[in-house]
Chain A
Amino acid sequence: MNASGILGATPEHIAKLASYGLAAVVTKTFTEKPREGYAPPIIIKLRNCGYINAVGLANPGIELLPQVVRKGKELGLVTIVSVGGSSLEEFVKVSTVALDSGADMLELNLSCPHTRGYGLDIGSDPTNVYEVVKAVSSLSSTPVIAKLGVSDNYVKSSGKALEGGAKALTLINTVKAMIIDVYSAKPILSNVFGGMSGPPIHPIAVKVVYDVYKEYEPEIVGVGGIVDWISAAELILAGAEALQLGSALSTKPRELVDSVLEGLKEWVSELGYTRIKDLVGLAHKK
């Protein structure tokens, strides 16, 4: 599936994501009211082959959410709604609309690193994580996934999310970062700082997935710097059962999805297995 934030804000975006050959789509993070997001530059590539972004949770608000979900369902895709909020009430409100629209799962964005009052501002406190997940999980039996980021408390936050009723965890969000142009001496992103994604955060994602799997063995959606089947396989061995692609979708997305799937298939058979599930968390085996 795609990582939340890559397209996913309109029915047209969902159709575009479907053309990439993904098994599931994750919407852009929806908030109650529409958000314009930040002015450009919002996404750029870094010299270390990563990307940095500060989009500012731009989204059309809950009014347009039902048609986005409908498009995903129409196209036969598992449709996961990324839910954002600056308060418990907002998380519940957006989740309710998503559930009423027929979302297959909810992914709670508890880790956006660049929007004040949202994401990591809430998700870095394990108590908040517990409360938000519990409130949303109690709305229905639809699976709730908590998307967490890197903070000092990620193992504890993961535990609290699971205790609150999360069926799975998406690990990890982008990592707080910044880029400065050395000629004009100005930060490049209009928001000054943002979240880094892509290859540089992959080893961090592997470590976080590994640590959380070791502690709780939960179902994990691994995300962070997947650019080929090898980076995908590492996350699977660390404990991820499903995977999301983010910034790598900026270059030949259909070919990327196909080559990751094909590579994983060959890898599973090379190691003498028949199901990818048997390789989930295999790196923990003593």
Chain B
Amino acid sequence: MSRDWFPRSGDETPHEHTHLVTPARVYFNNVLSSRFRMIKVKPLRSLVTPKPPQFFMVWVPGVDEIPLSVADYDEKSISFIYEVKGAGTNALSKLGSGSYLGLKGPLGKPLNIVEGFSTLLVVGGSGVAPTPYITKYLASRGCRFEVIWGVKKRSELFNLGSVMSGVEYIHIATEDCSVGYCGMASELTRELVSKYKYDLVIGVGPKGMLKSLCEVTSGLNTYVVLETMVKCGLGLCGSCVLPNTDKLLCVDGPAFRCEEVMQYLRT
């Protein structure tokens, strides 16, 4: 009868637990482009090392708690790329160096990335947020990879290389045809996958783009990283349920195989 004698939670060091709010101090909080900002913070207690595309619930004291995927992480700091969309991200954008916030995470499931996989990463819109950390991870796993970054217009772009390491080649696609490939990221994907062989395709971006991506890469090993409203992040409140599936984005995702979520992407 000695099995499980101590409660499951009793033997964990509390600060290591991913459901706690860990305090963090802001290093900097800068503008990257017309659309994106980047905040880098120092956690005041050690975090569990996140694996892409895991995310944190970032607590802006007294205002909101926002799901943000990790843009970069090392033992001393963690960074997030975000877009000012509502009251929460607006308040986040006002936090200057030295301000405090809280981090709950890492949450969600890591992507299972096999060493040496040749990978195509397709990024659209706010999907750029986790990109640097995904590519860092791919590089550490010895994966060769290419990135397609699709935006509506030139002013959304920033030097992705400045926040990202190990990228061999970035294909830029603009919908207004101002730079790079003229058209959508999914259209360029169609062209690339017809010419080259990829072991893995990862899509990060808006729902419409991911739906097209799943269609043009049908038959390939494609994962899409979804975004939706997340309130608790722990699989308890159910806010992030993907309609027409039994999946909760916060605990089953945020990355899914196309076939798991195709019905949701079509709605």
Residues of A that sit less than 8 Å from B by CB = 5-10, 12-13, 15-16, 19, 28, 37, 39-49, 51, 53, 55, 58, 181-184, 186, 188, 190, 198-199, 227-231, 247-251, 253, 256, 259, 263, 266-267, 270
User: Considering the chains assembled together, what is the distance between the CA atoms of A53 and B19 in angstroms?
Assistant: 12
Q: Would you give the shortest CB distance from A5 to chain B, in whole angstroms?
A: 8
Q: Would you give the shortest CB distance from B30 to chain A, in whole angstroms?
A: 21
Residues of B within 8 A of A6 (CB): 236
User: Considering the chains assembled together, what is the distance between the CA atoms of A231 and B61 in angstroms?
Assistant: 35
What total count of A-B pairs have CB within 8 Å? Answer: 134
Are A45 and B20 in contact (CB-based, < 8 A)?
Answer: yes
**Interface check B10, CB cutoff 8 A:** yes
B39-74 residues at the A interface, CB under 8 angstroms: 44, 57, 59, 61-62, 64-66
Residues of B within 8 A of A181 (CB): 21, 23, 59, 61, 100, 102
Among B120-128, B174-182, B241-249, the stretch in contact with A: B241-249
User: Among A41, A183, A267, which residue has its beta carbon within 8 angstroms of that of B44?
Assistant: A183
**Interface check B235, CB cutoff 8 A:** yes
Are A10 and B101 in contact (CB-based, < 8 A)?
Answer: no
In the complex with contacts A41-B59, A44-B20, A181-B61, A16-B102 CB distance below 8 A: no
Interface extent on B, as a size class? 35 or more
B240-260 residues at the A interface, CB under 8 angstroms: 241-246, 248
Residues of A within 8 A of B101 (CB): 184
User: Among B7, B15, B232, B241, which residue has its beta carbon within 8 angstroms of that of A40?
Assistant: B232
Residues of A within 8 A of B169 (CB): none
User: Considering the chains assembled together, what is the distance between the CA atoms of A181 and B230 in angstroms?
Assistant: 22
User: Considering the chains assembled together, what is the distance between the CA atoms of A7 and B240 in angstroms?
Assistant: 10
Residues of A within 8 A of B66 (CB): 40
Residues of B within 8 A of A199 (CB): 7, 9-10
Residues of B within 8 A of A19 (CB): 246
Residues of A within 8 A of B10 (CB): 49, 199
Are B59 and A43 in contact (CB-based, < 8 A)?
Answer: no
**Additional 4 contacts, C-beta under 8 A, given A40-B230, A55-B237:** A7-B235, A48-B14, A190-B64, A247-B236
User: Considering the chains assembled together, what is the distance between the CA atoms of A270 and B2 in angstroms?
Assistant: 12
User: Considering the chains assembled together, what is the distance between the CA atoms of A107 and B234 in angstroms?
Assistant: 24
Residues of B within 8 A of A230 (CB): 4-5, 7
Residues of A within 8 A of B25 (CB): 183
User: Considering the chains assembled together, what is the distance between the CA atoms of A39 and B57 in angstroms?
Assistant: 13
Closest CB pairs A-B (n = 4):
A45-B19, A184-B61, A40-B65, A49-B9
Are B20 and A47 in contact (CB-based, < 8 A)?
Answer: yes
Q: Would you give the shortest CB distance from A97 to chain B, in whole angstroms?
A: 20
Are A186 and B236 in contact (CB-based, < 8 A)?
Answer: no
User: Considering the chains assembled together, what is the distance between the CA atoms of A184 and B103 in angstroms?
Assistant: 13
Residue with the greatest number of chain B CB neighbours at <10 A, chosen from A13, A19, A49: A49
**Interface check B37, CB cutoff 8 A:** no
The 6 listed contacts between A and B (C-beta, < 8 Å) are: A49-B12, A55-B232, A181-B59, A182-B23, A188-B61, A256-B8
Residues of A within 8 A of B234 (CB): 43, 250
